[in-house]
């Protein structure tokens, strides 16, 4: 057996074959299917190692058949060194044997799965017929959010804002030729959210911020708070949360990392999977304000890794590597270190 290895060029090639919009659509449906299987998964909050510069995390999850994990960082100062703020890779393995089926980049994939998860939540929580959106934070993930909401939610107008004007320039340039989508550069956060049905915040600074305040709320608004994803990092003022019905992915993790870290432990939240499964209501009235306090959960990476594995296998993308020694005698690992020809003899021929 060998392991399929999908690096960044391979994933880019896969997206060019499949199309980004189609990939987002398939990923959104894969996420929905896996959220509906929520009780079948062995879940835990991610393990995080924090520093003054950022955070490095491990995110595991498994069902009866497959185990997945993601290694991911978040270092807001990285762009100044020519590095992405977020970098990630992941593994998908068989539960029955532990054998790794897939080793894949997850930096680009994380941007895709985050956008798909945001849409999944908005499909369940935003007012039907929402057409106007505000996108606060125009960094590496912003184009994927805009494309997902345009193609999967029918958003036709997006007001964009970032404190870094160059980031907004980049977004406008990348999406300038997307048919049917009107983009407006806003002068401020307040300007961007004015008139928006849906507000998505996807900022990177590791700081306790109040980017959206209660004065900016409008009747029936839905907010995807995506950027607040570790202790001490927030985007929404506590009064925004108090004024809204709040939904989360995995509550034990969100209590520590999400915007609700600012509120008492008894503050009520609703798990998104229970809404998708029909066990809890989502939006209860047209005028209600809803918030998806999204921190990113390992189940979403599981869905993404399974989709990448299926599509990469189907399209012959990536390459097969011997991540595990392909030995003729699995008990004779030492033979691989010998120089008298035994090492070659110990290896099985792999077609």
Is the pLDDT at 350 greater than 50? The verdict is no
The predicted-structure confidence for 37-57, as pLDDT tens digits, reads as follows: 999 999 999 999 989 898 899
Where in the chain do CATH 3.40.50.720 domains reside? 125-296
Among this protein's residues, is 229 annotated catalytic?
yes
CATH 3.10.20.30 for domain 125-296, yes or no, is no
For residues 76-89, give the mean pLDDT.
92
Q: How confident is the model at residue 345 (pLDDT cuts 50, 70, 90)?
A: low
Is the pLDDT at 186 greater than 90? The verdict is yes
Task: Tell me what percent of the residues of the chain surpass a pLDDT of 70.
Answer: 96
The predicted-structure confidence for 207-265, as pLDDT tens digits, reads as follows: 888 999 999 999 999 999 999 888 888 999 999 999 999 999 999 999 999 999 999 99
CATH number of 3-108+300-325: 3.30.1780.10
Average the pLDDT over each of 80-84, 108-112, 144-148, 339-343 and give the range with the smallest value.
339-343
Residue 341: predicted pLDDT:
62
Residue in 162, 229, 259, 301 annotated catalytic: 229
The predicted-structure confidence for 292-327, as pLDDT tens digits, reads as follows: 999 999 999 999 999 999 999 999 999 999 999 876
Residue 207: predicted pLDDT:
81
Residue 244: predicted pLDDT:
98
Q: Which of 335, 241, 337, 339 is nearest to 290 (CA)?
A: 241
Is the pLDDT at 347 greater than 70? The verdict is no
Rounded Cα gap, residues 107 and 125, in angstroms: 27
Residue 344: predicted pLDDT:
65
Q: How confident is the model at residue 343 (pLDDT cuts 50, 70, 90)?
A: low
Residue 351: predicted pLDDT:
37
Asked whether the beta carbons of 287 and 221 are under 8 A apart, the reply is no
SS3 content of the chain, % helix, strand, coil (to 5): 40, 25, 40
Asked whether the beta carbons of 202 and 141 are under 8 A apart, the reply is yes
Rounded Cα gap, residues 39 and 49, in angstroms: 28
Where in the chain do CATH 3.30.1780.10 domains reside? 3-108+300-325
Q: How confident is the model at residue 338 (pLDDT cuts 50, 70, 90)?
A: confident
Task: Find the helix packing angle between 142-153 and 107-125, rounded to 10°.
Answer: 40
Question: What pTM does this model have?
Answer: 0.94
The predicted-structure confidence for 134-181, as pLDDT tens digits, reads as follows: 999 999 999 999 999 999 999 999 999 999 999 999 999 999 999 999
């Amino acid at each position: 057996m060998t392991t399929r290895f999908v690096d960044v060029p391979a994933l880019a090639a896969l997206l060019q074959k499949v199309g980004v919009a189609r990939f987002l659509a398939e990923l959104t449906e894969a996420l929905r299917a896996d959220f509906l299987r929520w009780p079948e998964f062995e879940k835990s909050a991610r393990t995080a190692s924090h520093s003054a510069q950022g955070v490095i995390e491990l995110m595991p999850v498994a069902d009866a058949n497959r185990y997945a994990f993601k290694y991911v960082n978040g270092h807001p100062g990285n762009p100044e060194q020519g590095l992405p703020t977020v970098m990630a890779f992941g593994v998908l393995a068989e539960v029955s044997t532990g054998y790794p089926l897939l080793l894949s980049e997850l930096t680009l994939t994380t941007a895709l799965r985050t956008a798909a998860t945001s849409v999944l939540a908005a499909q369940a929580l935003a007012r039907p017929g929402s057409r106007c959106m505000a996108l606060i934070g125009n960094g590496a993930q912003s184009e994927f959010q805009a494309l997902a909401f345009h193609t999967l939610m029918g958003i036709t107008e997006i007001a964009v804002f970032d404190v870094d004007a160059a980031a907004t320039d980049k977004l406008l340039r990348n999406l300038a030729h997307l048919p049917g989508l009107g983009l407006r550069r806003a002068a401020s956060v307040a300007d961007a959210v004015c008139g928006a049905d849906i507000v998505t915040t996807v900022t990177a600074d590791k700081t306790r911020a109040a980017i959206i305040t209660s004065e900016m709320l409008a009747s029936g608004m839905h907010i995807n708070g995506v950027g607040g994803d570790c202790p001490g990092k927030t985007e929404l003022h506590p009064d925004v949360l108090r004024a809204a019905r709040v939904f989360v992915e995995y509550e034990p993790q969100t209590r520590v990392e999400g915007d609700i870290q600012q509120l008492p432990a008894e503050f009520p939240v609703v798990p998104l999977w229970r809404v998708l499964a029909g066990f809890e209501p989502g939006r209860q009235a047209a005028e209600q304000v809803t918030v998806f306090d999204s921190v990113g959960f390992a189940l979403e990476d599981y869905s993404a890794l399974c989709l990448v594995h299926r599509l990469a296998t189907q399209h012959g993308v990536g390459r097969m590597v011997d991540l595990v020694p392909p030995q003729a005698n699995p008990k004779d690992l030492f033979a691989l270190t010998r120089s008298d020809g035994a090492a070659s003899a110990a290896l099985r021929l792999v077609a």
